[in-house]
Homo-oligomer: A and B are copies of this chain.
Amino acid sequence: MSGTKIKNMEDFAAVSGISRPTVSKYFNDPESVRKSTRQKIEAALKKHNYRPNIYAVNQNRRMTKNIGLVVPNLADPFFAGIARTIEGLIVKAGYNPLLFSSHGGPEQEISNLDSLRSIKPAAVLIAPIGRMSQDDKVAQFASEVPTVLFDANLEDVGIAFFGSDNDQSIGLIVDYLCRSGEPPAFFEMKTPINPNAFKRRNAYITAMERLGHQPHLIQISGQGWNFEEIGFREGGRILTEQRLPSNTILCSNDRLAIGLLSAAFENGIKVGRDANATLRIAGHDDHPFSQFTCPSLTTVSQDYDAIATRSVETVLSLIDSGEKQPKQREETLFEGKLVMRGSA
């Protein structure tokens, strides 16, 4: 910080002894100017710590360096985790991530898209809320801004979708559960928010039939995103009613399983795979807290590193290509891995 105040690029160009257009070029890409020029600018940068006004920059650039990221609910550690991974990848690529959470509400999701629109991002990554989502508005948005979907798919929306292969992952854990004990019943919400829930339900039925077992759906009521609460409340009910079709329960996701485990504990039901346990519970997702439940939760992990990486790569390559839409929409599902713990 020297004496003279640097108010804008003009001033900064003056003190660095370089013309303003060249300085502008430098900030767009430091490698695009001659080494001696770069050094002069960087020397001045150390003395005056000037930074271009991002509002002026973004107003004039053909395209901003912003990439939007919308997740259904940041209060869910699963999405918090994947958001963090994606943010890191975006930063590493020299872009500026803008994070939005829809807090479980479709209105908020649309409102987030409106915010994003006004930010004029180079691209957007969205994990749509799902069933409640106003799909047409999301589709409309995706037709205006290069958009990649992840976690939950909307047919033909966006330039690509990356998610988990529910058929494979559910098949995996159904196989395991059948192999190691009674075939599981499927514990899920009657009217799930997330479209993956429907896929998992069907995957469960298919897997059971493939193995020659009768599928049993335990469909509980409940609204909103408090899955643990719902799993606890409704789980407690079905456990005390004593009419379980099986001593093994596969939950549609880990958060329901966490609630159910808690309900089992409250009711004095021993869960696990050892001899004195009377119930086995398994989940799906490998939620960050699943390893600390009592007992720890057997589940299937989603490859969200792959989902994050491929989503960002896809978006970046599209930006680089300069095109608005790729030749073809890509849809890639990643496989889950069995995570064997104490509960089943």
Contact = CB atoms under 8 A, between A and B. Distances in A.
A81 B56 CA distance: 34
Interface in A264-290: 265-266, 288-289
Interface stretch (A16-24, A47-55, A200-208, A214-222): A47-55
Interface string A62-76: 000000000000110
Contacts of A103: 84
Contact of A58 (B55, B75, B77, B295): B55
Contacts of A119: 54
Nearest to A118: B54
Interface residues of A, number: 42
Number of copies of this chain in the oligomer? Answer: 2
Contacts of A53: 59, 118
A96 to B, nearest CB: 8
A120 B55 CA distance: 10
Given A55-B56, A55-B120, A232-B292, 16 more contacts: A55-B58, A59-B59, A75-B288, A77-B77, A77-B80, A80-B80, A99-B101, A228-B289, A228-B291, A228-B292, A258-B289, A259-B292, A262-B292, A262-B293, A262-B296, A293-B294
